[in-house]
Copies of this chain bind each other. A is one copy, B any other.
Amino acid sequence: MSYNSFGRVFRFTTWGESHGPALGAVVDGCPPGLALAEADIQPWLDKRRPGTSRFTTQRQEPDQVRILSGVFEGRTTGTPISLMIENVDQRSKDYSEVALAYRPGHADYAYDAKYGFRDYRGGGRSSARETAARVAAGAVARAVIAEVRIRAYLVELGGDAIDRTAFDDAQIDANPFFCPDAAAAARWEEIMDRTRKAGSSVGAVVECMAEGVPAGWGSPLYAKLDSELAAAMMSINAVKGVEIGDGFAAARLTGEQNADPMRPGSFDNQGDGKPVFLANHAGGVAGGIATGQPVVVRVALKPTSSILTPVETITREGEASDIRTKGRHDPCVGIRAAPVVEAMMALVLADQKLLHRAQTGC
């Protein structure tokens, strides 16, 4: 029920501001006996870490995670797992202007309207830096759902979409864009260079696929798998849209076109009794419950609001002003969002696995 926690029985709480001494997550409800070390978490943080290419912010953060509790002799104990990441490269002086005037598109004005004042350094709590804590928590979630394989990748950047027929899994980690289409990745380099030079920004669409989710996970009606995914994804900074399966495109299909026909599993000699689906318009979820097909989610990320072009705004005192956002920013927050989307997928699935186990014993 708290504001900064997510999940029901596998539940995490994050804390920390962009320019505070540290940030972290407390993961509660993790099953005991799972192998877990800092080295299992660090690689995921490294994927999200800033400054790894010229296309992301140049803030230098090692994002070194420490496990402060809940693990004993290399295994989870079933007690809360406290994860902490110290902030290293804060340059709060960059934000003096932000203290005085609201950056349109940022949470500055809304936080002031809500709380009366705000920690303006680097966006404070509303900074995407908080997502490091999610990625760390997500790594714990992965240990809970070892049966599931999760991949997130960009399918669109700056309005330029990948060619689905060129989809190559191996490409995803081979370019700085988590882009499964090598040709698109090449084009995106140009887009990004142009954007960065212009002090502008672009949006992106991230897709995430989870394979191996057993039919049955999901908790109707108000903890539906897709509903939880929607909440999880929409809580990520800059996300403005979420789709499951065909999403908005499904609204343009007829019932016949949108059908996912089923055949007995033996048809394809799989022999495991599970049905074979002939399509996956539904994105692996029906009635809020996994069907056993890949779970497919797509999220739209708006362009970073921090741009060099001056934008009209007001000051804290209500005076007219304009603002150009200096500081160090990602010209496309969608890129570094991919590991965060993966983490949120893992966190939702871990929770649903345990919820399913609670109710059904399976």
Contact between A275 and B240, CB atoms less than 8 A apart: no
Contact between A234 and B240, CB atoms less than 8 A apart: no
Contact between A105 and B259, CB atoms less than 8 A apart: yes
Instruction: Take A11-B2, A105-B258 as given contacts and tell me if A246 and B21 are in contact as well, using a CB distance cutoff of 8 Å.
Output: no
CB distance from A97 to the nearest CB of B (A): 15
**A237 vs B285: C-alpha distance when bound (angstroms):** 12
Contact between A111 and B287, CB atoms less than 8 A apart: yes
Contact between A111 and B300, CB atoms less than 8 A apart: no
Contact between B221 and A262, CB atoms less than 8 A apart: no
Instruction: Take A250-B303, A286-B109, A302-B246 as given contacts and tell me if A114 and B358 are in contact as well, using a CB distance cutoff of 8 Å.
Output: no
CB contacts (< 8 Å) of A69 on chain B: these are 15-17, 20-23, 125
**A263 vs B235: C-alpha distance when bound (angstroms):** 28
Q: Is A148 interfacial (CB 8 A cutoff)?
A: no
Q: Looking at A228, A262, A314, which has the most chain B CB atoms within 10 Å of its CB? A: A262
Other A-B pairs beyond A104-B260, A241-B247, 18, CB < 8 Å: A2-B11, A3-B355, A4-B221, A15-B69, A32-B360, A33-B117, A79-B119, A113-B291, A200-B256, A222-B235, A226-B240, A230-B234, A231-B231, A240-B283, A251-B334, A261-B312, A275-B318, A281-B302
CB contacts (< 8 Å) of A151 on chain B: these are none
Instruction: Take A33-B117, A79-B124, A258-B105 as given contacts and tell me if A241 and B240 are in contact as well, using a CB distance cutoff of 8 Å.
Output: no
Instruction: Take A216-B113, A307-B256, A358-B358 as given contacts and tell me if A240 and B250 are in contact as well, using a CB distance cutoff of 8 Å.
Output: yes
Q: Scoring A residues 200 to 227 as 1 if CB is less than 8 Å from chain B, else 0, what string do you get?
A: 1111110000000011111111111011
Protomer copies: 4
CB contacts (< 8 Å) of A117 on chain B: these are 32-33, 72, 75, 77
Q: Is A278 interfacial (CB 8 A cutoff)?
A: yes
| Chain A 1-17 residues near chain B, CB threshold 8 A | 1-9, 11, 13-17
Contact between B221 and A14, CB atoms less than 8 A apart: yes
Contact between B110 and A287, CB atoms less than 8 A apart: yes
Q: Is A357 interfacial (CB 8 A cutoff)?
A: yes
Q: Is A356 interfacial (CB 8 A cutoff)?
A: yes
Instruction: Take A82-B24, A115-B78, A305-B259 as given contacts and tell me if A300 and B8 are in contact as well, using a CB distance cutoff of 8 Å.
Output: no
Contact between A107 and B255, CB atoms less than 8 A apart: no
Kindly report which residue of chain B lies nearest to residue A198, judged by CB atoms.
B254
Kindly report which residue of chain B lies nearest to residue A123, judged by CB atoms.
B287
**A273 vs B26: C-alpha distance when bound (angstroms):** 36
29 contacts between A and B (CB under 8 A): A2-B29, A4-B221, A5-B13, A13-B13, A15-B26, A15-B80, A21-B68, A26-B26, A68-B84, A78-B359, A107-B220, A107-B288, A110-B218, A110-B291, A113-B292, A125-B221, A126-B287, A200-B254, A201-B254, A226-B234, A230-B231, A241-B244, A241-B250, A243-B300, A258-B305, A261-B312, A264-B320, A265-B318, A357-B361
Instruction: Take A68-B22, A359-B29 as given contacts and tell me if A319 and B241 are in contact as well, using a CB distance cutoff of 8 Å.
Output: no
Contact between B202 and A254, CB atoms less than 8 A apart: yes
Contact between A278 and B312, CB atoms less than 8 A apart: yes
Q: Is A140 interfacial (CB 8 A cutoff)?
A: no
CB distance from A311 to the nearest CB of B (A): 5
Contact between A275 and B235, CB atoms less than 8 A apart: no
CB contacts (< 8 Å) of A361 on chain B: these are 31, 357
Q: Is A56 interfacial (CB 8 A cutoff)?
A: no
Q: Scoring A residues 339 to 361 as 1 if CB is less than 8 Å from chain B, else 0, what string do you get?
A: 00000000000000011111111
